[in-house]
Amino acid sequence: ETADFISECNYLRTIAKFSTVSESLQTSSFSDDLVLLTFDDGLKDHLNVAELLKSKNIPATFYITVAPYLYKSVLPVHKSHAICSYLGGESLEYLLRFCEKNNISLSAIENGLFKKRFESVYNNHKDEASIKEFKRIINYYGTSGLRDLILDGIMKDLSIANNPSDFYLSEDEIIYIHSLGFEIGSHGVSHNLLSAMDLKTQKADLIDSKSFLESLLKTRIDSFCYPYGRKHSYNSDTLNLLPYIGYRNAISVDYRDITPEDIKSKPYELPRYDCNQFNDLYPLYISMKN
């Protein structure tokens, strides 16, 4: 995978220019051949990514979720990823058995309003149906508290590492990546759905994540990245809060290019592609590779 990433970067250098998110919006030279690389969650292997990109003089923006530093805990979204990686298609069945064994009903985990609102998420993903349903329950239907206890219990039963230092960059590593010239942006505190939060909770999430990173890095944090990313993950409250709190732009997930109109009128809903779409976006790269 590292070799593929290096190969893709080398190809992009022949056809495009690179920038960070915030720098690209502050310049009048934004063009169709500009590529913005973004990395979410502050994962441990992003240190290697940053050093590789630095060696090629390619800028990028890294979005950090701060709960692992504030609360010394692994995010629920990554606990669910770890469980699905371990169990594969058995993840949902294991969840149901765990709940039955511990006298927990799914209705106790699931918020009915969230279930109705988010029942179609992951439909376009390539995972097995059981994995998609597991992720819906945990990442979208599940409310905090009981959900987190269940995830911790399953990880303990399966002897899956549950230490944030095994998952995420250290604070010193975040500082180091920033010192290499990369932009650091906020990915919120909890990596929970902003659209599922009330106004007060959203505001605290957006402020606390920005404040933590600014205190750590001694610099202004201008860019925000929505957890989960699609339009259902945020709402009008979010769009009003971001500029009020002092963010200058935000990255969503909407599979299309950023346009001059986006920069002018929707700087808090900038679209981006998923890295898995690289081959679709650059078919010439595949033909050259083959």
Q: Encode the chain (290 residues) as per-residue pLDDT tens digits.
A: 788 899 999 999 999 999 999 999 886 667 788 999 999 999 999 999 999 999 999 999 999 999 999 999 999 999 999 999 999 999 999 999 999 999 988 888 887 778 888 888 888 777 889 999 999 998 888 766 788 899 999 999 999 999 999 999 999 999 999 999 999 999 999 999 999 899 999 999 999 999 999 999 999 999 999 999 888 899 999 999 999 999 999 999 999 999 988 998 999 999 999 888 888 888 877 777 66
Question: In the chain, what is the greatest distance between 2 CA atoms, to the nearest angstrom?
Answer: 60
Distance CA 212, CA 201 (A): 16
Ramachandran region, residue 108 (left: φ > 0; alpha: ψ -120 to 50; beta: rest)? alpha
Distance CA 178, CA 176 (A): 5
H or E element that contains 178: helix 171-179
**Half-sphere exposure of residue 38: CA atoms within 13 angstroms, side-chain side:** 26
Reading the block at residue 172, the tokens are: 């010193």
pTM summary value: 0.94
Q: How many CB atoms lie within 10 A of CB 162?
A: 16
Reading the block at residue 58, the tokens are: 């390619």
Distance CA 198, CA 237 (A): 9
